[in-house]
């Protein structure tokens, strides 16, 4: 574990990177998000360009579709002030050849390997090369570069996991500001302000598909209180504020009131035990629901994310939500359910 002093140094360098780094395209934000996600999902300091490319495709997938809810003409948003964004045009080509592809089904389709290769090449030549440039100097505080991978410096994976929500929030808010600040997007955006949800969240329609699928699996029962649910309301089991990425296994059916009362908290141990059983018992069904909703569905990723979330919570002595107004302390014992 890096010392408290090293962790602070990491944060201040990260903050400098956002303040002074030269972000002419949005790739660097995507790279930071990809690194932070992979630090939780894989326990290896070596992150291949291919693994990063798969993350890029996931992140840019939604953004490669036209933004069409503004008053302006529907069009794909520009990510770069001066020209097209190669990752987006590569994804668009792939999607045109595979019109029914979703981000979930893409990896099994013809042409995906080629897409990964192209995106990996862009990732290598662009953000991996330039991310650590500050002003006129290079400060490789995050990783060293290899031919086919980056290798995180000692302590960096720890810091990325520890400060995951912060890294995500910084990268996302800068990404949104970058797109809003691009003059070429003015006619597309009109005066809408749902840009952040468009860029990063699951579309409402997909949430409804997930909600309806979960209703079928649970006989319309709220995951938390077991009462009957009438609407297809879903809750992020590991809160979205902690891990802002939609994975099919992380959704549970819940009353709006239960969801609202749980808010940004983790769920208490009894809920966690039930959730682990639930995704284990229904893995195949959840995958199918994810497929229909076009969301990533992978039980082991969701379990790693939960392990990370609860371990952090236990380390800082956070409290978990049991029911309205009732919380309990998270301790290391929680992790036994995830072992």
Nearer to Zn ion, 221 or 292 (CB): 221
Q: Does 255 bind Zn ion (CB under 5 A)?
A: yes
Q: Look up residue 328 and give its DSSP letter.
A: E
Residues of span 13-42 touching Zn ion by CB under 5 A: none
How many CA atoms within 13 Å lie on the side-chain side of 313?
27
Q: How many residues does the chain have?
A: 339
Do residues 261 and 321 touch, judged by C-beta distance below 8 A? yes
Do residues 235 and 242 touch, judged by C-beta distance below 8 A? no
Residue 260 neighbours by CB under 8 Å, 6+ apart: none
Nearer to Zn ion, 48 or 257 (CB): 257
Q: Does 225 bind Zn ion (CB under 5 A)?
A: yes
Q: Tell me the closest approach of the beta carbon of residue 212 to Zn ion, in angstroms.
A: 17
Give the DSSP letter string of 183-203. GGGHHHHTT---HHHHHHS--
d(CA 40, CA 36): 7
Q: Does 222 bind Zn ion (CB under 5 A)?
A: yes
Size of the site for Zn ion (CB under 5 A): 6
Q: Does 9 bind Zn ion (CB under 5 A)?
A: no
Q: Tell me the closest approach of the beta carbon of residue 255 to Zn ion, in angstroms.
A: 4
Q: Does 49 bind Zn ion (CB under 5 A)?
A: no
Do residues 197 and 95 touch, judged by C-beta distance below 8 A? no
Nearer to Zn ion, 32 or 238 (CB): 238
Q: How many CB atoms neighbour CB 201 within 10 A?
A: 16
CA nearest neighbour of 79 among 93, 70, 68, 89: 89
Mark the segment that binds Zn ion (CB under 5 A) among 45-53, 71-79, 112-120, 225-233: 225-233
Residue nearest Zn ion, CB atom distance: 222
Mark the segment that binds Zn ion (CB under 5 A) among 7-15, 82-90, 99-107, 255-263: 255-263
Mark the segment that binds Zn ion (CB under 5 A) among 35-43, 101-109, 186-194, 253-261: 253-261
Tokens found for residue 131: 């991310």
Residues of span 95-124 touching Zn ion by CB under 5 A: none
The correct pick among 128, 210, 258, 279 for binding Zn ion (CB under 5 A) is 258
Number of helices (H), then strands (E), in the chain? 15, 9
Q: Does 262 bind Zn ion (CB under 5 A)?
A: no
Element (H, E) at 267: none
d(CA 77, CA 115): 20
Q: Does 252 bind Zn ion (CB under 5 A)?
A: no
Nearer to Zn ion, 144 or 231 (CB): 231
Mark the segment that binds Zn ion (CB under 5 A) among 3-11, 163-171, 227-235, 278-286: 227-235
Nearer to Zn ion, 25 or 254 (CB): 254
226 φ, ψ (degrees, to nearest 5): 70, 5
Residues of span 135-154 touching Zn ion by CB under 5 A: none
Contact footprint for Zn ion (CB under 5 A): 222, 224-225, 227, 255, 258
């Amino acid at each position: 574990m890096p010392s408290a002093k090293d962790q602070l140094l990491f944060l201040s360098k990260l903050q400098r990177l956002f303040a002074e780094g030269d972000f002419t395209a949005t790739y660097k934000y995507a790279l930071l998000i990809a690194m932070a996600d992979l630090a939780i999902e894989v326990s290896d300091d070596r992150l291949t360009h291919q693994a990063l490319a798969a993350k890029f495709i996931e992140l840019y997938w939604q953004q490669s579709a036209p933004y069409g809810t503004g008053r302006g003409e529907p069009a794909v948003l520009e990510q770069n002030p001066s020209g097209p964004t190669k990752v987006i045009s590569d994804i668009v080509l792939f999607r045109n050849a595979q019109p029914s592809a979703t981000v979930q089904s893409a990896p099994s389709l013809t042409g995906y390997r080629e897409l990964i290769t192209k995106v990996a090449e862009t990732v290598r030549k662009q953000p991996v090369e330039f991310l650590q440039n500050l002003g006129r100097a290079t400060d490789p505080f995050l990783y060293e570069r290899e031919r086919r991978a980056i290798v995180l410096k000692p302590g960096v994976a720890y810091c990325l996991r520890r400060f995951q929500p912060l890294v995500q929030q910084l990268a996302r808010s800068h990404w949104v500001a970058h797109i809003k600040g691009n003059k070429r997007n003015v006619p597309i955006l009109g005066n809408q302000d749902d840009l952040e949800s468009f860029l990063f969240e699951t579309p409402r329609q997909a949430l409804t598909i997930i909600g309806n699928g979960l209703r079928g699996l649970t006989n319309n029962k709220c995951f938390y209180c077991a009462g009957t649910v009438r609407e297809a309301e879903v809750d992020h089991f590991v809160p979205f504020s902690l891990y802002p990425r939609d994975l099919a296994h992380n959704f549970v059916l819940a009353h709006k009131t239960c969801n609202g009362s749980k808010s940004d908290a983790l769920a208490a141990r009894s809920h966690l035990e039930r959730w682990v059983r639930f995704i284990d018992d229904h893995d195949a069904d959840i995958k199918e629901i994810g497929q229909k909703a076009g969301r990533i569905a992978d039980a082991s990723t969701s379990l790693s994310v939960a392990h990370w979330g609860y371990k952090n919570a236990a380390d800082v002595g956070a409290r978990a939500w049991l029911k309205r107004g009732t919380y309990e302390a998270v301790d290391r014992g929680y992790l036994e359910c995830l072992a």
